[in-house]
Amino acid sequence: MRHAIACCKALAISALYLCIGDLTAQTEGVLERLQRYQERYNQWASRHTFVWEIEYSDTRNKAVLARELPNREEIRRAIEQSPDAVSTRVRLTIARTPELCMVMQEHISGDWPYQFKTKRAYLGKNWQSSETEIIYRDRRGIKVTVMPVRERKDSAIYDGVLTLPFVSMIYGAVFLAGTNPFTHLEVRCSQPPVWHLERTTPSQVWLKQSIHGIEDRLAIHPDGWVMEFERRIGSDFSRNVVLETIKRDGFVVPSKVAGEYQSHGVKGRLLARLVALKETEPLKIEYPLNAEVSDYRLMTAEQMCSDSKGELKRVRYLWKGNLPTLAELEQMHRAANPDPLRVPPPRQGARWLLYLPGILLIAIGVYLWWRSRR
């Protein structure tokens, strides 16, 4: 009798281990299949241009904004003088190639905190550039900043270069530019996500990840294309949903995407419609001639992402139509700094902004709005 009971227990344990092993294999199989599709889709998307028309609107609780944003005089005045609601319509062009990507925003109608109607950002293999509108005593101009980034081995685009006025669309590059969600970076200093299988249904595969109080969930169709993303950080909430799709070259491409956002007194909604999709033509970096440039490419991406950067190796010059080579940049730096100028590093302890971009973006948005109304 004892032998029979022992045999039954052994069989039960063996069956349990077999079930666990089978479930693990199934889970790994599902993830591998989704990853293979997304790798192929990203490679296809990395040679295409996506043109979107985006409508964005938000409402703001100024009392909450004043309480939760940095306690600085210019921020307080910006909040007081900013509108209670914002509505804008822009055209977003994302032109991708394996070597160079361009993101261009063009104002169509509604609110716009800048004098210039077009803003451009570029992403090379190991650098990123962006432009900022600056105010001189008698005029406005463009300042270009060039930063080193970790080498992009899969032609990815960071969310950081897709930032629209007043809002950051988290995982926007996945929905609007075909970036692989398994290797996606939100900003140049962040790390790729680590997705785990949460549950499956006949129509969706749900993945999840949790880090530092951030709860992310991603829904992917069993065939491999991204359907929905949501993020929760306490009471803050962000969500993107694919409403319509088209088929191109065997891939399902989002053609209508809705987004909603709630954080720090701001509730925003976004609707993006794909108006053009084509193969990318040769790209050229275009900034206004003689725009001021601050170039940090003599530093490494690791140095720029470190909390203790030390001295910043910056080269300033005027834009003449092309990025200088690193050798030319080094010569320019030596000529301008016979005794290297110590440039004070940014304040420390701000890496939490990687996970809460909404605070900074709202502050910048209301501040630019206030400044443009002066």
Amino acid at 159: D
143 burial class (0-12, 13-18, 19+ CB within 10 angstroms)? Answer: middle
- pLDDT of res. 63: 77
Q: How far is CA 246 from the centre of its chain?
A: 23
- pLDDT of res. 77: 75
Strands annotated E in 23-100:
48-60, 85-96
- pLDDT of res. 212: 84
Strands annotated E in 63-136:
85-96, 101-110, 118-123, 127-135
Pairing outcome for strands 118-123 and 226-233: unpaired
Please, which residues bridge with residue 241 across strands?
Answer: 228, 258
- pLDDT of res. 165: 65
- pLDDT of res. 359: 46
- Give the torsion sign (CA, 319, 321, 325, 327): negative
Ranges of residues in the chain whose predicted pLDDT is under 70: 1-28, 68, 137, 153-156, 165-168, 307-310, 339-374
- Please write the tens of the pLDDT for every residue from 200-221: 999 999 999 998 889 999 999 9
- pLDDT of res. 5: 54
